[in-house]
Amino acid sequence: MKPIVAPSLLSADFGNLEKDVQMLNRSQADWIHLDVMDGVFVPNISFGMPVIKRVRQLSEKPLDVHLMIVQPERYIHTFKEVGADLLTVHWEASTHLHRTICQIKEEGMLAGVALNPHTPVAGLEDIINDVNLVLIMSVNPGFGGQKFIKRALHKISELREMIERNDSEALIEVDGGVCQDNIADIVSAGADAVVAGNAVFKAEDPEIAIQNLKNA
């Protein structure tokens, strides 16, 4: 099965986002991945609502918004308003994760939960039938262009097994250090979707890079 490919705009040209979004519209990308960072949950600050709102106007693809922020429940409605289709919060940042997941779905978005590299998959057992997507971080969140942490492959298989055991329909998405060299292993471990920042935007031809990831 071909993976869902979600290029991350974090590695795009912020001086000309329109050009990059148009390239994604033409490409085989399935979703556009948007990394929101608050400088508290992660040691970096990226972009927020006005940027997403503009990308929504330009994009023909669904927006996959990854919140790396503390207390994400404060902004669920706002991210719906600016155009998120899928909203992912971090397990580590959510005290009342079940409530947050329900609120995201009540707003009409798909709900995702992200796990940092040190967070065990087992912590999802009681929520696996409520989420639409689990995002396995294969780098420590905060920056693009880092090296894939191999242990993530084991977590993907473990999660796949949990999803099947529970008859869950959750998708598995993998984020961080994904490239042409490791995508086949990621997909055979059980991933449905991959995020790719540098592997797309630092490539000589980003459209071809997306096509290659899609068909790896």
Which chain residues interact with ligand DX5 by CB under 6 A? 8, 10-11, 33, 35, 66, 139, 141-146, 175-178, 195-199
Choices 35-43, 124-132, 145-153, 158-166; region in contact with Zn ion by CB under 5 A: 35-43
State the binding partner of 177 from ligand DX5, Zn ion, none, CB within 5 to 8 A by kind.
ligand DX5
Question: Residue 171 touches which of Zn ion, ligand DX5, none (CB < 5 to 8 A by kind)?
Answer: none
Q: State the Cα–Cα distance between residues 81 and 158, nearest whole angstrom.
A: 35
Q: Would you state the structure tokens that stand for residue 86, as one six-digit string? A: 């899928």
- Please give the C-alpha separations between residue 205 and each of 131, 182, 201, in angstroms, as whole numbers: 35, 19, 8
Look up residue 32 and give its two tokens: 């556009």
Q: Supply the minimum distance, in Å, between the C-beta of residue 85 and ligand DX5.
A: 16
Return the beta strands (E) in 74-144 as ranges. Answer: 86-90, 110-115, 133-137
Minimum distance between the CB of residue 143 and ligand DX5, rounded to whole angstroms?
Answer: 6
Q: How far, in Å, CA of 173 to CA of 195, rounded?
A: 7
> Which member of 20, 38, 64, 175 is catalytic?
175
Confirm if 53 and 21 have CB atoms less than 8 A apart. no
Name which position in 6, 175, 203, 210 contacts Zn ion (CB under 5 A): 175
**Binding partner of residue 80 among Zn ion, ligand DX5, none, CB cut-off 5 to 8 Å per kind:** none
159 vs 195, beta carbon nearer ligand DX5? 195
In 3D, which of 104, 107, 122 has the Cα closest to residue 166? 122
The pair of structure tokens assigned to 48 is 């927020």
Catalytic residue among 35, 38, 64, 192: 35
Compute the distance between CA of residue 51 and CA of residue 8 in angstroms, rounded to an integer. 14
In the residue annotation, 35 being an active-site residue is answered as yes
The yes or no reply on residue 35 touching Zn ion (CB under 5 A) is yes
CA dist 132 and 87 (Å) reads: 10
| Residue of 41, 52, 66, 153 interacting with Zn ion (CB under 5 A) | 66
Residues with catalytic roles = 35, 175
| Interface contacts to Zn ion, rule CB under 5 A | 35, 66, 175
